[in-house]
């Protein structure tokens, strides 16, 4: 990756979609994010890997302000993330998030789960929201489950509904935080395939995962974190065949 420094007003024009500059975050005495500089281009797929506790989830959560930061700046599509208010709600809607636990509304049907945000946040009418929800449910392969409740679906199906729900907001970028970690092994691929397709369709994605096969085949770049820092970033081929840092070598020796 070539690092190009640009003036703030030029950010949107360069195609950089998510820009973090010198982001720091503490939990009490724990310096959980240390001087994080990260730029994600439009259409880029970045896989974030690293040992447990290295700050990967916190990084994701700061990008849509589920967590505040102590210093530094984060911008989405050229606009700095505000601390609160209407502008934050709007910008946050541009960032789709899929978690390890599917977080669907249990008392709403699959279809209602995917319609809700479109109506409440994007102010669409019911008919338009339903049309879009059905199209997205078809796209992730669970169209036939639309009238069911989440508990009636398998974990893999629920996670695909969660992806459809996030996509329904027409996000500019999708964050995935270990989306397959809670799934039974036989359901992992059906979720990864949906994510692969999304990547091929040009979605900008930040994916925290231990699925190295996905990283190799879908990522444009691997970001390796340890102890709250970005220790190394490289194209997947280069990272997996020739990691530069001892931390990355050690991590890969344990998981591969
Ligand atoms: P990862 O996702 O890489 O496993 P996390 O971002 O979840 O790492 O956590 C990084 C560190 O921050 C861990 O030591 C974790 O215990 C700590 N941490 C995470 N969330 C909180 C919180 N809300 N309060 C205090 N400590 C936290
Ligand atoms: Mg985590």
Q: ipTM of the assembly?
A: 0.98
Of 53, 59, 225, best ligand 1 pocket probe by most atoms within 8 Å of the beta carbon: 53
Shortest-distance atom of ligand 1 to CA 61: 6
Task: Identify the sign of the CA torsion 255, 34, 64, 171.
Answer: negative
Distance CA 116, CA 63 (A): 23
Model confidence at 14, in pLDDT bands (50, 70, 90)?
Answer: low
Cα(178) to centroid(ligand 1), Å: 14
Distance CA 8, CA 80 (A): 10
* Parallel, antiparallel or unpaired: strands 221-226 and 45-49: parallel
Q: Is 83 helix (H, G, I), strand (E, B) or coil?
A: coil
Model confidence at 89, in pLDDT bands (50, 70, 90)?
Answer: confident
Cα(56) to centroid(ligand 2), Å: 5
Summarised one tens digit per residue, pLDDT across range 123-160 is 999 999 999 999 999 999 999 999 999 999 999 999 99
Asked whether the predicted pLDDT for residue 8 surpasses 60, the reply is no
Task: Write the residue with the smallest CA distance to atom 14 of ligand 1.
Answer: 53
Helices 110-120 and 126-139 meet at what angle, rounded to 10?
Answer: 130
Task: Write the residue with the smallest CA distance to atom 1 of ligand 1.
Answer: 53
**Where does ligand 1 bind, in terms of residues with CB under 6 Å?**
27, 30, 32, 50, 52-58
pLDDT of residue 102: 85
Distance CA 162, CA 148 (A): 14
In contact, 73 and 23? CB cutoff 8 Å: yes
Cα(118) to centroid(ligand 1), Å: 31
The counts of H helices and E strands in the chain are: 10, 10
pTM for the whole structure: 0.93
Asked whether the predicted pLDDT for residue 83 surpasses 80, the reply is no
Shortest-distance atom of ligand 1 to CA 178: 2
* Strand ranges of the sheet holding 221-226, from the earlier edge strand across to the other edge: 95-98, 173-177, 204-208, 45-49, 221-226, 229-234
Q: 16-25, 89-98, 141-150, 217-226: lowest mean pLDDT where?
A: 89-98
Cα(136) to centroid(ligand 2), Å: 27
Distance CA 34, CA 23 (A): 7
Shortest-distance atom of ligand 1 to CA 67: 23
Cα(209) to centroid(ligand 2), Å: 9
Task: Write the residue with the smallest CA distance to atom 25 of ligand 1.
Answer: 27
- Give the number of whichever ligand sits closest to the CA of residue 177: 2
């Amino acid at each position: 990756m070539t690092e190009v420094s640009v003036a703030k007003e030029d950010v949107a024009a360069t195609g950089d979609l998510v820009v973090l500059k010198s982001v720091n975050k503490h939990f009490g005495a724990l310096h959980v994010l240390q001087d994080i500089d990260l730029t994600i281009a439009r259409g880029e797929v970045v896989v974030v890997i690293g040992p447990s506790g290295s700050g990967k989830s916190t990084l994701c959560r700061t990008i849509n302000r589920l967590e505040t930061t102590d210093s530094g700046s984060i911008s989405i599509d050229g606009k700095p993330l505000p601390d609160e208010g209407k502008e934050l709600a709007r910008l946050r809607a541009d960032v789709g998030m899929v978690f390890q636990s599917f977080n669907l509304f249990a008392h709403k049907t699959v279809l209602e789960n995917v319609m809700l945000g479109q109506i409440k946040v994007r102010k669409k009418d019911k008919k338009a929201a339903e049309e879009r929800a059905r199209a997205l449910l078809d796209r992730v392969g669970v169209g036939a489950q639309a009238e069911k409740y989440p508990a009636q679906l398998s974990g893999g199906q629920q996670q695909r509904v969660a992806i459809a729900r996030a996509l329904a907001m027409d996000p500019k970028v999708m964050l995935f935080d270990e989306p397959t970690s809670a799934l039974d092994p036989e359901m992992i691929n059906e979720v990864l395939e949906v994510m692969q397709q999304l990547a091929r369709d040009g979605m900008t994605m930040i994916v925290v995962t231990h699925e190295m096969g996905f990283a190799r085949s879908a990522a444009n770049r691997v970001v390796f974190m340890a102890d709250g820092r970005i220790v190394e970033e490289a194209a997947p081929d280069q990272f997996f065949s020739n990691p530069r840092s001892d931390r990355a070598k050690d991590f890969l020796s344990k998981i591969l």
